[in-house]
Structure 1
Amino acid sequence: MSSDCGKVEADVEIKASAAKFHEMFTHKPHHISNVSNSNIQGCDLHEGDWGTVGSVVYWNYFHAKFAEELVEAIDAENNLITFKVIEGDLLEHYKSFKVTIQATPKGEGCNVHWTTEYEKHHDDIEDPHTLLQFAFEVSKDIDAHLTSTEGLRLNYMICD
C-alpha cells in the first residue's frame, strides 16, 4: 500500500442485535436521518432497491456534506455491508473511499466494526480520523433507537 493509501477502523459496542443494526443500513438507511439527525440530514435511493448490491444511495451528512455511494457488497449472514463513494465531497480529497460496516453478535448486543479504506490525492491530505467519532455517534444513535423500539414492543406485548 502506498503512502497515499490508508485504512482507519473503529469498534463500537451497542446493546441492539447485530441483525437489527445491519438491517438499518441495508433495508432502512432512509430512517437513519430520523434517529441520528445531528449527523445525517437525509438519505435517498438514486438507483436500484433498498437492500440490494448495485443500488446507489445518496447520503446528506453534516460531517462530509454529501456522498453518493454504491452498495458494493451485502453479506446478511455476517451482518456486513460495504459502500463505495462514487460522488461527493470526500472525493475532493480522496481518489477512492470505501466504508464497510459489520455488526457481530456479542453477549446481549453486538460489536459494530467500521472500516474506511481510502486513497488520498496526495500526501498532504490528512487521514479521515474524524470519521471515527462520526461512526461512534451514528452507531450509538441507531442503538438508542433500536433498543427503545424493542422496549416499546415488549411493553406492548406485556400489556395485552
Structure 2
Amino acid sequence: MGVKGKLIASIEVKCGGHLIHDIFHTNTHHLPNVTPRKIQRFEIHEGETIKNGSVVSWNYNDDGKDKFSKQVIEGVDPQKKSVTWKVIGGDLLELYNSFSITTACDHQWVTWTLVYEKKTEDIPEPLAFLDFGIHVTKDTEGHLLK
C-alpha cells in the first residue's frame, strides 16, 4: 500500500468563480483554445461533458512534458460548483495507484484538490500538477477578462 496524500490550492479570481466554473465544467471543450500552452485536446468518450459516469480524456502539458489523462466523472455538485474527476488511465497512474481531482468555484475563488496514493514513498508529491491547475485557472481568468 502506498502513501496517501492530499494537496489543496485556492486562487482568487477577479472574474468570479461562476464564470470559471462555466468554462471548466460546462464548456470544457473550449479549454484547448483558452489555454493552448497547457491543454492541447479534450475528448468525451462516453456520456456527456459534466455528468456522473462520463469518461473523458485530455492531452496536456505538465511541467514542460506532453501527457495524457483519461478520467471518469465521479461527482458533480452544481450548488458548490464542483466536479470530481477520477483518473482511470494515463501518465499519472504510472506514479500513483489512485488520483482524483476536484475543482470547485465560488464567488472569487477557485480551489483545486488532489487526492492521491503514491506507488512508493520516494515518488514526489504532485506539486507540478497542482501548479498546472493554477496556470489553467490563471489562463482561463485572463481569457474571461479580455
TM-score range with shorter-chain normalisation?
over 0.9
Q: Provide the C-alpha distance between the structure 1 equivalents of 2:81 and 2:15, rounded to a whole number of angstroms.
A: 13
Q: Which residue of 1 aligns with 2:42?
A: 43
SS at match of 1:62: strand
Q: Is contact 1:18-1:104 (8 Å) kept?
A: yes
Q: Which residue of 2 aligns with 1:95?
A: 97
Q: Which residue of 1 aligns with 2:134?
A: 136
Higher strand residue share: 2
SS at match of 1:66: strand
Q: Provide the C-alpha distance between the structure 1 equivalents of 2:75 and 2:16, rounded to a whole number of angstroms.
A: 20
What are the Cα deviations for residues 95-142 of structure 1, in whole angstroms up to 9, with x where unaligned?
00000011111xxxx111101000011111111011222111100111
Q: Which residue of 1 aligns with 2:120?
A: 122
Q: Residue 15 and residue 111 in structure 1: after superposition, are their counterparts in 2 closer, same or farther (change >3 A)?
A: same
Letter of the structure 2 residue corresponding to residue 77 of structure 1: Q
Alpha-carbon deviation of 1:16? 1.9
Q: Which runs of 5+ in 1 are unaligned?
A: 149-160
SS at match of 1:65: strand
Higher Cα Rg, which structure: 1
Q: Which residue of 2 aligns with 1:113?
A: 111
Q: Provide the C-alpha distance between the structure 2 equivalents of 1:3 and 1:16, rounded to a whole number of angstroms.
A: 39
1:4-83 → structure 2 map (5 Å cutoff): 4-63=3-62, 65-83=67-85
CA-based RMSD: 1.4
Q: Is contact 1:22-1:81 (8 Å) kept?
A: no
Q: Provide the C-alpha distance between the structure 1 equivalents of 2:100 and 2:129, rounded to a whole number of angstroms.
A: 12
Q: Output the TM-score relative to the length of structure 1.
A: 0.85
Q: Which runs of 5+ in 2 are unaligned?
A: none
Q: Provide the C-alpha distance between the structure 2 equivalents of 1:135 and 1:13, rounded to a whole number of angstroms.
A: 13
Structure 1 runs (4+) greater than 3 angstroms displaced: none
Q: Is contact 1:73-1:83 (8 Å) kept?
A: yes
Q: Is contact 1:43-1:58 (8 Å) kept?
A: yes
Q: Which stretch shows the higher mean deviation, 23-32 or 85-94? A: 23-32
Alpha-carbon deviation of 1:86? 0.4
